[in-house]
Structure 1
Amino acid sequence: MKLFSVAVVSLAISASLQAKQNEMETVLVTGSRIVESIDEVPVSVTVISNQDLQQQMKVSPDIQNLLAMYVPGISSGTGTSSNFGQTLRGRAALVMIDGVPQSTPLRNGALGIKTLDPNVIERIEIIQGATSIYGNGAAGGIINYITKKPGGDKAISGNIDLSTRFSAVKLEDSVGGKVAASVYGSVDAFSYVASLSHEENGVLRDADGDALGTQYGLSEGVSKNYFTKLAYEFSTEKNLAITYNYYESQQDSDWVDVVGNISKGEKTYAIYDPSGKPPTAEPQGPRGNHNLQLKYQDNAVFKNTQLAIDAYMQKIENVFFYSTRLGNPDLGVDGGQSMIRSEKKGLRATFNSYFDFDQVELNLIYGLDALNDVTSQPLVDGRMWVPEMDMGNLAGFIQSKWIIADDYILKAGIRQEDINISVDDYDTLKLCTSPTVCSTPMSVAGGDIDFEATTYNIGFRYNAFDAFNPYLSYSEGADVPDIGVLLRSATVNDISLIQTEAAIVKNYEVGFVSNIEQWRLEFTAYRSESDLGSRSVLNPDTGIYITQRAPQKVWGYEGVVNYRVDDTLNFAATFGYVEGKHTESDLYIGGRQIGAPKATFVANWRPTEQAALSVSYLHVEDRERFERNDEGNFTGDEGNVKGYDVVNLSGSYDFGDVSIFAGVENLFNQDYFPARAQALTYTAFNVKGIGTTVNLGVKVAF
């Protein structure tokens, strides 16, 4: 009934609004699902421009490192194909491509960040802090990849990029290459852009020249991306666009791991040994990520009211690494590989209406969202680890923005979620860490899991003085837990007895933005609370980690400093600190959620109109919160982190239609374990960071 009431109010308002439409600055779209100025948003926002994106991609194609460099709330990169252990303000982020969700929150395999090739990204928008504006999965915020726009001055234009990447420490087997091509143009009311890329990695090596471990590895991986966006403008008010993106990235390598122990400072590295590769092992990584979106916009559907309708589909199969923990001696199986199989279909209708009163501008955003998400986690050998979860989600929302006397900005909104998840009867897997230590399989009766959640947000910002624009906000997000993990580790015979309740994550934030001549300063302090967080606990009898639900609190602060000396030289720096505790036990949250403190620095210099140089620096600070066990080892995700520093360098020269570039990752060949490798003590996660690696390329425009 709550959902019906919100929907009726939304549709009634759309039929009755009479107001003058205001043209708004095109800076940000993610936060409120409309185009609005970044200076009218009372929360912490980061927009990574195409220029910044291209500059960092000259160093490395790793989009995780890019995000960590520019977004203070994102923990440092993992150096792998997985974002397991990389969070946004200590919680999971909802990753999207043009608003289409890529994350799989029903069975969160932490593989959402690498879901497309950076070559097709126009910019990246990040909203930090819990939000429900796009639904489930955004407990830490939103990462939205905005893809390239169609169109151009001519009927056909384009560019071709060729590059190679190799280890400067040990060249052998490390040479890889990439080719990417794009075409774009406009013909009358029709516009288009199309792109394809093919990348093959060589063996990635650490500072000692040893091959990096293969678990979630990128060595000898092959990635392909096909992207197209077509648009037709019926009139100045009405347009239609269709976007399709296909991405796959799989590692099929004959290198096998020599496993170390992070508690002893021993790294996991790889050696070439085709005979040591399990005969049943399949390539790991996304077999194919399909995204299809149809979007219609009418800027005058009613008087002074805009309408956006988009229908979308996303389908993916992500294959994990081979693990002996998925063995079962009773079946004669030594191990196995799981994969997350997910298919989403959605429809969204968003209205945007404007009022213009005396000294007051009112903007209302309202509509309906419908989503069907079917997710499971089978093994590639046919066994079922997580049964199929069929989720239907219907939500109504309304968001208001009041601009009073030009300088006072008030935002408030409400969203009502109705969620149903259907699960058939299933049997849990018998998993064995040794021939004699196994879990006990359970026959579990399925059924329906129903959630209703009403979430609110309110924020205020004061923009009278450029030198000090303060803001404060309160926002909530409905966070459905990782149902798949809870189902696969069930110790009861009915899903109604499993603690699957959704949590409401409450986020409090206060901050300011200052623009003083060439300086731009941003500072934010925040706190988020949830009554049902998740914690992985080792069962000593089976050697299997199980999930416990308990209250959590997370807090921290962030800062960004930008200084533009002139048109040729600018600097940017960020810092981020996050901490968290399990509220009832007063124990610190582990490194899977809470990253070590970090700071970054980027300097961009254009000595001539054709030449450009960039230096980037990452500093990760110590985080020592945990004690060793009686055997002298850290356990689970409770490893201590020792700080480290990494410097990157890149440069380019533009000859006109042809430009060349070079980038060096880890310029000084720092020998270090990334923060995730230190914090997570699970087998084979303890892989060193990449050693000095060179990226060279040329770009030809036509």
Structure 2
Amino acid sequence: MKKIILSVASLATVMTVAQQKDSLDIKDVDGVVLTASRKKENIKEIPSSVTIVNQKQIQSQLTVNSDITSILQYTVPSLATSSGQTSNTGQTLRGRQVLVLIDGIPQSTPLRNGARDIRVIDPSVIERIEVIKGASSIYGNGADGGIINYITRKSNSEKTISGITQVGITGQAYGGTLGYRASQLLSGKVTKNFDYVLSMAYERTGYMKDADGVDLSPTYSPAKMDNYNGMLKLGYNINENQRIEASYIGYASRSDLDLGLKTGKYGLIPTIGEGKGKNLETTPQGTPRNHNIKLSYDNRNLWPGTALDVNLYLQDFRTVYGYSDTFLNGGQSNIISRKSGARINLDTQLWNGQNSQAEVIYGVDVLDDQTVQKLEDGRYWTPDMDMTNIAPFMLIKVDLLKNLTIKGGLRYENMKVKVGDFNTLSTIKNDGTFTQSIFVKGGDLEYNALVGNIGLRYNINPMVNLFGSFSQSYSINELGRILRTSTSDTITNLETKPIIVNNYELGATGQMTEWLDYEITSYVSTSKLGASFVQSPDRALTIQRAPEVVYGVEGFLHFRPARWINFGGSYSWMEGITSPKDDGDYSAKINNSRISAPKVLAYIQLRPLQKLSVGLDMLHAFEQDRFSPNVKTGLFAYGEGKVPEYTVFNFKSSFDIDKSWKLSLGIENVLNKMYKPAIAWWAARDSDFTNSMGMRGTFMVEYKF
């Protein structure tokens, strides 16, 4: 199928809201962004909302919790709250799935979304996190809600060797084992032109308990887990214009949690860990491997006025889930994904005048993504899926009068997916009967589309900068889940059309005074054929394909009235509606598994002494009551449970002994509040009805040399 997709939608009302900015250096606002246009540019040139989580923020949040899903929930307004598990199910961005990258290498597995893509790297190796909000096709398949790109550390030292050593312990007041972590970063220049970065990190988590000291559920638990991360990056400057760089980043996690599972009752009794677990698992839960290899070549002067950037990459990913008895004979499943690709980027200056300039960025992306979900005993839960994507693109950027930026681009998506023959698994229904396994004939699926984006940013003065944009994404997200629940003997009879999202955004940002900056943004995203989890009559999860509209507002306020104090906050709100019968009636709502509750983030950071920094973070999630239970059973369907509001405070502090040594202390859930993560409520299932972690402290020692 071949389409040219353009549409028009009204923009939501702009309202004043707020975003966390946790840093005592206000200059961090004016950061350089790489992800938005695949080249370095100032954030003031981008006609859309971008969140940069800088290195200071990452290190500060690391003192409280090393889980990146937690770090992001406290720093990105429109990202849903963390589940506190190894899975990031429900942690959507603007109500849609997000594409996760490490230095531009895709980590997500959109062919079979296993919800393990956010938690695939240790934060100690990250220099900054760039979050591009809203649908985007600039990095290919899967970015319906936006992009999260982990930018890893680079060598900034002129020394032969310099480094950062961190050692820390974590623990709760209820006894049990302590957790501990250690990381070592080395970087420097071997010669004038040859530089390197070497990083190693290891973390061993302890038992995790709620505010009453009861062990949390072992399902998808990050407790008693070994986490490993290693990075080697080698760079050589051929001359002042040319550079070649090679890197390897590896991550692995492995759980040996020996707790049994005591299933509770939704809304009444939480599911907890208790006693010893049954030996049903042959492989530890976690992500046994996530290997990323990249080779890049940059030439800033390929010929006069033209720069070239070439990236070649490989990614090898495997994640393992816990034992499940939802299918005949039970078992554990794996998602295995192998990606290889190339990105060729050229940047040509069209003109460069005194008050205006223009450039065109163009090239081609090639990606091969092989993904499958299998059981440990070799049975296929999804067929082998092999996607080849070739996508030429072009983006034109024009700067006029030093304060007006216009961007527009096109990308032609050409995707082909080879699907292998397979037998569906026989699953257990609610009444104890089994669905019959059927043979499904595979084949070839082909998708083609021309997607575009256009945006404008007008920097009127430092106090008022206006921006507006239209952007599209194109993805075949969750094809594997659609195929694995097939009731047809051939894939040609299944609804496997791609998700095409049109995103409209309007906002304003600026610096009112030297000590106050702000941003306010509204957005609408539409799709003629979205994809949401819905519950079938036998309570099994299926994919609903229907037209959708998601809209919302977000923004931040940041105050710095004096050098010793910094405070502010953020607010985000969204709603999603759908037309299940595709009849123009959008009275139905997209469920809470995608549409998260409104969220307020607030913070205060103080420096009462030059060497001492103390701070407090707050997360407040509002109540979410959008659905009613079934009249006959009194039960909520999956994704429709009522979510109560909750508020959590985290404390963090650091003390600089001297230029080399620093001590840090962080306390998560400092008031030891008893609450449940949002997923425990909206999932509306006994097994998911779990508590969140109680108060936990982290003490770290850092040495720089």
The reply to whether TM is greater than 0.5 is yes
SS of the residue corresponding to residue 384 of structure 2 reads strand
What is the CA-CA distance between 1:533 and the residue it aligns to?
Answer: 1.1
For residues 266 and 90 of structure 1, the distance between their equivalents in structure 2, rounded to whole angstroms, comes to 29
1: CA distance, partners of 2:501 / 2:568: 31
Instruction: State whether residues 281 and 332 of structure 2, in contact with CA within 8 Å, keep that contact through their aligned partners in structure 1.
Output: no
Residue of structure 2 in register with 1:93 after alignment: 98
Q: Which residue of 1 aligns with 2:344?
A: 349
Structure 2 residue 637 is the aligned partner of structure 1 residue 642: no
**1:617, 1:64 → 2: CA distance?**
16
The alpha carbon displacement at 1:683 in A equals: 4.6
Aligned twin of 2:122: 117
Which letter maps to 2:64? V
Of 467, 474, 486, which aligns to 1:471?
Answer: 467
Unpaired stretches in structure 1, ≥5 consecutive residues: 4-24
The one-letter code matched in structure 2 to 1:539 is: S
Give the C-alpha shift of residue 243 in structure 1: 1.1
Give the root-mean-square deviation of aligned CA atoms. Answer: 1.6
2:551 is aligned with 1:555: yes
Q: Per-residue CA shift, 1:175-218, capped at 9, x if unaligned? A: 11111111111122111111111111110011111111111111
Structure 1: distance between partners of 2:379 and 2:536: 23
In the alignment, is the contact (CA less than 8 A) between 2:499 and 2:531 conserved in 1?
no
SS in 2 for 1:485: helix
Partner of 1:10: none
1:171 is matched with: 175
Instruction: Verify the 8 A CA contact 1:296 1:309 in the aligned structure 2.
Output: yes
How many angstroms apart in 2 are the aligned matches of 1:103 and 1:279?
28
Confirm or deny that 1:218 pairs with 2:219: no
User: Residue type matched to 2:155 in 1?
Assistant: P
The alpha carbon displacement at 1:58 in A equals 0.6
Deviations 1:379-434 (A, max 9, x none): 11211101110000000100111111111111111000100000121111111247
Q: Deviations over 1:69-103 (max 9, x none)?
A: 11111011111111101000000010000000000
Counterpart for residue 688 of structure 1: 691
CA contact (8 A) 2:2 2:447 kept: no
> Is 2:154 aligned against 1:149?
yes
**Residue identity matched to 1:171:** G
Equivalent of residue 272 in structure 1, options 235, 257, 275: 275
Task: List alignment gaps of at least 5 residues for structure 2.
Answer: 4-29
- Which residue of structure 1 lines up, in the alignment, with residue 681 of structure 2? 678
In structure 1, the residue corresponding to 2:383 is in which secondary structure?
strand
Structure 1 residues 26 and 434, CA gap change in structure 2 (3 angstroms):
closer
| Structure 2 residue corresponding to 1:578, chosen from 571, 574, 587 | 574
Aligned to 1:591: 592
Cα distance in structure 2, aligned partners of 1:438 and 1:278 = 25
Give the AA of the match of 1:144: N
Match of 1:431 among 427, 430, 434: 427
Match of 1:529 among 514, 523, 526: 526
**Residues 624-639 of structure 1 aligned to structure 2 (within 5 Å):** 624-629=625-630, 630-639=632-641
Alignment partners' CA distance in 2, 1:280 and 1:570: 49
How far did residue 568 of structure 1 move? 2.3
Cα distance in structure 2, aligned partners of 1:361 and 1:148: 31
Q: 2:57 aligned to 32, 52, 56, which one?
A: 52
CA distance, structure 2, for counterparts of residue 448 and residue 532 of structure 1: 21
Give the superposition deviation at 1:358. Answer: 5.7
CA distance in 1, matches of 2:562, 2:640: 46
Shift of 1:671: 0.6
CA separation in 1, counterparts of 2:103 and 2:533? 33
Q: Give the 3-state SS of the residue equivalent to 1:55 in structure 2.
A: helix
Aligned AA (1:652) = S
Q: 1:485 aligns with which of 481, 487, 490?
A: 481
Residues in 1 aligned to 2:289 and 2:415: alpha-carbon distance in whole angstroms: 28
- Out of 108, 112, 124, the residue aligned to residue 103 of structure 1 is 108
Q: Is the 8 A contact 1:150 1:231 kept in 2?
A: no
Are 1:607 and 2:604 counterparts?
no
219, 244, 251: which is aligned to 2:248? 244
CA distance in 2, matches of 1:683, 1:281: 25
Q: Give the structure 1 partner of residue 24 of structure 2.
A: none
Aligned residue for 2:209?
Answer: 205
In structure 1, distance between residues paired with 2:526 and 2:496: 18
Work out the CA distance in 2 between the residues paired with 1:343 and 1:578: 34
Counterparts of 2:93 and 2:280 in 1: how far apart (Å)?
A: 38
Task: Tell me if 1:39 matches 2:41.
Answer: no
Q: Is contact 1:324–1:433 with CA below 8 Å preserved after alignment?
A: no
CA contact (8 A) 2:471 2:504 kept: yes
Residue-by-residue CA offset, 1:25-51 (whole Å, 9 max, x unaligned): 961111000000100111000001101
Q: Distance in 2 between matches of 1:139 and 1:419?
A: 16
Given candidates 167, 181, 186, the residue that maps to 2:184 is: 181
Quick check: 177-186 or 583-592, which moved more? 583-592
Structure 1: how far apart are the matches of 2:643 and 2:31? Answer: 41
- Structure 1 contact 481–500 (Cα < 8 Å) conserved: no
One-letter amino acid matched to 1:92: Q
1:372 matches 2:357: no
Mapped partners of 1:197, 1:249: distance in 2: 12
**What is the match of residue 316 of structure 1?**
317
The one-letter amino acid of 2:533's match is S
Cα distance per residue 1:529-570 (max 9 Å; x no partner): 1111123333335x4222221111101000111111222221
Work out the CA distance in 2 between the residues paired with 1:161 and 1:383.
Answer: 43
**Distance in 1 (alpha carbons) for counterparts of 2:455 and 2:75:** 24
Whole-angstrom distance in 2 between the partners of 1:184 and 1:537: 49
Task: Quote the Cα distance in structure 2 between the aligned partners of 1:218 and 1:127.
Answer: 28
Tell me by how many angstroms 1:357 deviates.
3.6
1:384 counterpart = 2:380: yes
- Aligned partners of 1:572, 1:241: CA distance in 2, in Å? 39
Q: Which of residues 632, 656, 670 is equivalent to 1:667?
A: 670
Looking at structure 1, the residues matched to 286 and 638 of structure 2 have their Cα atoms a distance apart, in angstroms, of 24
Q: Partners in 2 of 1:466 and 1:560 — Cα distance?
A: 16
Question: Is the CA contact (8 Å cut-off) linking 1:55 and 1:614 kept in structure 2?
Answer: no
2:653 is aligned with 1:651: yes
SS at match of 2:627: coil
**In structure 2, what is the Cα distance between the partners aligned to 1:689 and 1:248?**
24
Q: CA deviation at 1:2?
A: 9.4
Partner of 2:332: 337
Give, in whole Å, the separation in 2 of the partners of 1:433 and 1:164.
45
Report the TM-score, using the length of structure 2 for normalisation.
Answer: 0.93
Could you report, residue by residue, the CA deviation over 1:216-251 in whole angstroms, capped at 9, with x for unpaired residues? 111101101111111011111000111111101121
Q: State whether residues 170 and 179 of structure 2, in contact with CA within 8 Å, keep that contact through their aligned partners in structure 1.
A: yes
User: Structure 2: how far apart are the matches of 1:667 and 1:436?
Assistant: 45
Q: Give CA deviations for 1:666-686 in whole Å, capped at 9, x if unaligned.
A: 010111111121111245222
The aligned runs of 1:280-299 (5 Å cut-off) are 280-299=281-300
Q: Secondary structure at the match of 1:119?
A: helix
1:564 maps to: 560
Distance 1:244 1:463 in 2: 40
Query: What displacement does 1:435 show?
Result: 8.4
Distance 1:434 1:557, change over 3 A: closer
Q: Which amino acid aligns with 1:336?
A: G
Question: What amino acid is aligned across from residue 348 of structure 1 in structure 2?
Answer: R
Q: Tell me if 1:515 matches 2:511.
A: yes
Aligned to 1:83: 88
Q: Is the 8 A contact 2:176 2:206 kept in 1?
A: no
Answer yes or no: is the 8 Å Cα contact 2:534–2:639 preserved in 1: no
Q: Is the 8 A contact 2:453 2:470 kept in 1?
A: yes
